[in-house]
Amino acid sequence: MNIPYLYDAGALIAIDNNDRRMWARHSLALEDGRSIRVPSVVVMAAGLGAVIWTSGPSDVRTLIDAQGVKRSPVVRTV
């Protein structure tokens, strides 16, 4: 069973800051064939200009598109 990885804003911040540990996790997830998802609210916040990371909102969209990350609706909160 392939359980997808769900990246929150913190994961995107780590990637944006070029965190080696996060890039290693990301690479292993891709090698394992895992689906990587980002909650649609994080993508929407980037589109609205909520800059919670060091780059601009368009950089987050570019990162998501370039890595083949799928947008995922938030269906349940814990």
Q: In this structure, is residue 60 part of a structural domain?
A: yes
Least confident of 1-5, 40-44, 55-59, 60-64: 55-59
Q: In this structure, is residue 78 part of a structural domain?
A: no
| Structural domain that includes position 38 | 5-72
Q: In this structure, is residue 28 part of a structural domain?
A: yes
Considering the chain, what percentage of its residues have pLDDT values greater than 90? 9
Q: In this structure, is residue 77 part of a structural domain?
A: no
The pTM score is 0.59
Considering the chain, what percentage of its residues have pLDDT values greater than 70? 53
HSE-up of residue 43 (Cα within 13 Å, Cβ side): 17
Q: In this structure, is residue 38 part of a structural domain?
A: yes
Condensed to tens digits (0 to 9), the pLDDT of residues 61-74 reads 666 666 666 666 66
Q: How many separate domains does the chain show? A: 1
Q: In this structure, is residue 51 part of a structural domain?
A: yes
Quickly state the pLDDT bin for 16 (edges 50, 70, 90).
Answer: confident
Q: Taking 90 as the threshold, does the pLDDT of residue 1 lie above it?
A: no
